[in-house]
Copies of this chain bind each other. A is one copy, B any other.
Amino acid sequence: MGNSKLYKGSLHTIILKLLEENGKMYGYEITQKVKEITNGELNITEGALYPALHKLEAEDLLDVEVAKVDNRLRKYYKLTEKGSKETVNKLKELENYIRNMQVLVNPNWSIE
């Protein structure tokens, strides 16, 4: 499986967007979801994911709720109100970045 490069800076946006879509998710679930959606091309490493979740929580963008399923720990994360707003910003930022890259590398594709 080709492991596509994760451009640094986009992980927070991915997490926020997935939570916006799915209401609440736990860490491991996020890694699997990303793998599934990208057909195994993008693998979020745990060393990147968990510190990212902790940071988003510390910034009050996420709320946590601990659950125990099959005697195993799960930490469910969901967006706070502040997190919902920030998600919009991050998505705009990403779109803007991609537009800039489009005019810069001038490929045969464009976003529309």
CB pair B112–A5 under 8 Å, yes or no, is no
Query: How many interface residues does chain A have, given as a range?
Result: 35 or more
Q: Which of A37-45, A50-58, A59-67, A75-83 contacts B (4 or more CB under 8 A)?
A: A37-45
CB pair A103–B38 under 8 Å, yes or no, is yes
CB pair A14–B111 under 8 Å, yes or no, is no
CB pair B101–A98 under 8 Å, yes or no, is yes
Does residue A8 face the partner (Cβ distance < 8 Å to B)? yes
- State A107–B99 Cα separation when bound (angstroms): 13
A: residues with CB less than 8 A from B are: 4-10, 13-14, 17-18, 21, 34, 37-38, 41-42, 91, 93-98, 100-101, 103-107, 109-112
